[in-house]
Amino acid sequence: MATKVDVIGEINKYDFRAEERYVYRARKGLDRDIVAEISAIKNEPQWMREFRLKALEIFESKPMPTWGGHIDVNFQDIYYYIKPTERQGHSWDELPEEIKKTFDRLGIPEAEKKFLAGVKAQYESEVVYGSLREDLAKRGVIFTDMDTAVREYPDLVREYFGTVIPPTDNKFAALNSAVWSGGSFIYVPPGVHVEYPLQAYFRINAAQMGQFERTLIIVDEGASCHYVEGCTAPMYSSESLHAAVVEVIAKRGARVRYTTIQNWANNIYNLVTKRAVAYGEALVEWVDGNLGSRLTMKYPAVYMVEPGARAEILSVAFAGKGQHQDAGSKVIHAAPYTSSRIVSKSISRAGGRSSYRGLVKIERGAKKSKSNVVCDALILDPYSRSDTYPYIELEEQDVMIGHEASVSKIGEEQLFYLCSRGLTESEASTMIVAGFIEPLVKELPMEYAVEMNRLIALQMEGSVG
Amino acid sequence: MVLPDLKQDLHFTAEGFQNVILPRPQPEWSREFRLRAFETFQELPWPNRSMEEWRRTELRIFHLENFVCWAPVPDPLPEVPSALAPRLETAGRIVSLNGRKISSSVEEDLLEKGLVVECLEDSLSGPHEELIRQHLWSLFEWRTDKFSALHAAFWTGGTFIYVPPGLKVEKPILHVAALAANQADVGHTLIVVDEEAEATVVTETTSLDPAAEGLFCGGIEIFVRPGARLRYVNFQNWNQKTFHFARQKAEVAERAFMEWTLGALGGRLAKVNQEVVLNGPESEAIVNGVMFAEDRQHLAYHTRQDHRTGQTKSDLLYKGALQDHAHLVWRGMIRVEPGAIRSDGYQRNDNLMLSDTARVDCIPGLEILADDVRCTHGATAGRVDEEEIFYAQTRGLTRREATRLVVTGFFQQVLDRITIDSVREALGDIIQQRVREYRSRD
List Cβ neighbours of A181 (8 Å cut-off, separation of 6 or more): A38, A42, A81, A147, A207, A210, A211, A212, A213, A214
The band of A107, judged by pLDDT with boundaries at 50, 70 and 90, is low
Q: Do the Cβ atoms of B371 and A367 come within 8 Å? A: no
Q: Does residue A361 form part of some domain?
A: yes
CB-closest option in A377, A388, A392 to B362: A392
**Is A64 found in the same domain as A189?**
no
At A413 the pLDDT is 84
List Cβ neighbours of A323 (8 Å cut-off, separation of 6 or more): A266, A292, A293, A294, A295, A352, A353
- Which one has a higher pLDDT value, A75 or A232? A75
Apex CA B121: angle with CA B119 and CA B125, to 5°? 110
- Which one has a higher pLDDT value, A370 or A76? A370
Sequence-ordered alpha helix ranges (H) in B58-175? 108-112, 120-123, 129-135, 146-154
CB-closest option in B351, B372, B375 to A406: B375
Report, as ranges of residue numbers, the positions in chain B whose pLDDT lies below 50: 1-3, 441-442
At A136 the pLDDT is 83
CA distances from B53 to B47, B67, B273, B285 (A): 9, 24, 10, 24
CA dihedral sign, ordered A440, A446, A452, A453: positive
Query: B237, B210 in Cβ contact below 8 A?
Result: no
Query: B164, B135 in Cβ contact below 8 A?
Result: no
A278-310 residue pLDDT tens: 999 999 999 998 888 889 999 999 999 999 999
Is residue A16 predicted with pLDDT exceeding 90? Answer: no
At B329 the pLDDT is 94
**What domain range is A161 assigned to?**
126-423
Beta strands of B180-326 (E only): which ranges?
184-185, 188-193, 198-207, 214-224, 229-236, 242-252, 257-264, 269-278, 284-293, 298-307, 313-322
Q: Is B51 on the interface with A (CB under 8 A)?
A: no
Q: Does residue A120 form part of some domain?
A: no
Q: How far apart are CA B8 and CA B20, in angstroms?
A: 7
Q: Does residue A399 form part of some domain?
A: yes
Query: A270, A264 in Cβ contact below 8 A?
Result: yes
Q: Do the Cβ atoms of A408 and B373 come within 8 Å? A: yes
C-alpha distance from B24 to closest chain A C-alpha (Å): 42
Q: Is A347 on the interface with B (CB under 8 A)?
A: no
β-pair partners for B342: none
**Is A88 found in the same domain as A181?**
no
The band of A110, judged by pLDDT with boundaries at 50, 70 and 90, is low
Q: Do the Cβ atoms of A404 and B378 come within 8 Å? A: yes
CB-closest option in A383, A387, A394 to B366: A387
B382 contact residues in A (CB cutoff 8 A): 397, 399-401
Q: Do the Cβ atoms of A382 and B339 come within 8 Å? A: yes
CB-closest option in B358, B377, B381 to A405: B377
**Is A457 found in the same domain as A415?**
no
β-pair partners for B288: B261, B317
Q: Which residues of B35-45 are buried (b: 16+ CB within 10 A; e: fewer)?
A: eebbebbeebe
Q: Do the Cβ atoms of A407 and B379 come within 8 Å? A: no
β-pair partners for B373: B343
Residue B281 carries which side chain, given as an amino acid letter? P
Q: Do the Cβ atoms of B356 and A402 come within 8 Å? A: no
How buried is B60 (Cβ within 10 angstroms: 0-12 exposed, 13-18 middle, 19+ buried)?
exposed
C-alpha distance from B147 to closest chain A C-alpha (Å): 23
Is residue A408 predicted with pLDDT exceeding 60? Answer: yes
pTM of the model: 0.82
Q: Is B376 on the interface with A (CB under 8 A)?
A: yes
**Is A432 found in the same domain as A320?**
no
Return the DSSP state at A64.
Answer: P
CB-closest option in A388, A397, A409 to B372: A409
Give percent of chain A above pLDDT 70.
Answer: 78
**Is A64 found in the same domain as A134?**
no
Q: Does residue A112 form part of some domain?
A: no
Size of interface A-B (CB pairs under 8 A): 117
B368 contact residues in A (CB cutoff 8 A): 377, 379, 385-387, 407
Is residue A105 predicted with pLDDT exceeding 90? Answer: no
B135: three-class secondary structure by DSSP: helix
Is residue A265 predicted with pLDDT exceeding 80? Answer: no
Q: Does residue A328 form part of some domain?
A: yes
At B152 the pLDDT is 96
Is residue A119 predicted with pLDDT exceeding 60? Answer: no
Q: How far apart are CA B161 and CA B164, in angstroms?
A: 10
Q: Is A385 on the interface with B (CB under 8 A)?
A: yes
C-alpha distance from A54 to closest chain B C-alpha (Å): 25
At A29 the pLDDT is 81
The band of A401, judged by pLDDT with boundaries at 50, 70 and 90, is confident
Q: Do the Cβ atoms of B341 and A396 come within 8 Å? A: no
Q: Is B368 on the interface with A (CB under 8 A)?
A: yes
**Is A305 found in the same domain as A266?**
yes
A405 contact residues in B (CB cutoff 8 A): 364, 366, 376-378
Is residue A13 predicted with pLDDT exceeding 50? Answer: no
CA distances from A140 to A255, A280, B368 (A): 17, 23, 50
Q: Do the Cβ atoms of A398 and B441 come within 8 Å? A: yes
Q: How far apart are CA A214 and CA A273, in angstroms?
A: 10
Q: Does residue A245 form part of some domain?
A: yes
Select from A407, A414, A415 the residue whose CB has the most chain B CBs within 10 Å, as the one to mutate to test that interface: A407
Q: Does residue A401 form part of some domain?
A: yes
B366 contact residues in A (CB cutoff 8 A): 377, 386-388, 405, 407
At B205 the pLDDT is 95
At B233 the pLDDT is 94
**Is A403 found in the same domain as A436?**
no
At B384 the pLDDT is 85
**Is A147 found in the same domain as A69?**
no
Give percent of chain A above pLDDT 90.
Answer: 40
The band of A343, judged by pLDDT with boundaries at 50, 70 and 90, is very high
Q: Do the Cβ atoms of B363 and A390 come within 8 Å? A: yes
Minimum Cα–Cα distance from A368: chain B residue: B382
At A267 the pLDDT is 79
Select from B323, B368, B375 the residue whose CB has the most chain A CBs within 10 Å, as the one to mutate to test that interface: B368
At A256 the pLDDT is 96
Q: Do the Cβ atoms of A405 and B366 come within 8 Å? A: yes
**Is A444 found in the same domain as A403?**
no
Q: Is B22 on the interface with A (CB under 8 A)?
A: no
**Is A240 found in the same domain as A326?**
yes
At B361 the pLDDT is 92
Q: How many domains does chain A have?
A: 3
Query: A127, A109 in Cβ contact below 8 A?
Result: no
Q: Is A379 on the interface with B (CB under 8 A)?
A: yes
C-alpha distance from B289 to closest chain A C-alpha (Å): 18
A172-204 residue pLDDT tens: 999 999 999 878 899 999 999 998 888 765 443
B383 contact residues in A (CB cutoff 8 A): 397-399
C-alpha distance from B373 to closest chain A C-alpha (Å): 6
Average pLDDT value over all residues in chain A: 80
C-alpha distance from B440 to closest chain A C-alpha (Å): 8
Q: Is A56 on the interface with B (CB under 8 A)?
A: no
Q: Is A77 on the interface with B (CB under 8 A)?
A: no
List Cβ neighbours of A401 (8 Å cut-off, separation of 6 or more): A360, A362, A370, A371, A372, A392, A394, B379, B380, B381, B382
B52 contact residues in A (CB cutoff 8 A): 67
B381 contact residues in A (CB cutoff 8 A): 392, 394, 399-401
Q: Is B369 on the interface with A (CB under 8 A)?
A: yes
A383 contact residues in B (CB cutoff 8 A): 338
Q: Complex ipTM, two decimals?
A: 0.76
Q: How far apart are CA A270 and CA B406, in angstroms?
A: 48
Q: Does residue A117 form part of some domain?
A: no
A63 contact residues in B (CB cutoff 8 A): none
Query: B438, B389 in Cβ contact below 8 A?
Result: yes
**Is A215 found in the same domain as A202?**
yes
β-pair partners for B274: B248, B303
Q: Which residues of B93-105 are buried (b: 16+ CB within 10 A; e: fewer)?
A: bbbbbbbbbbebe
**Is A217 found in the same domain as A206?**
yes
At A85 the pLDDT is 43
B254: three-class secondary structure by DSSP: coil
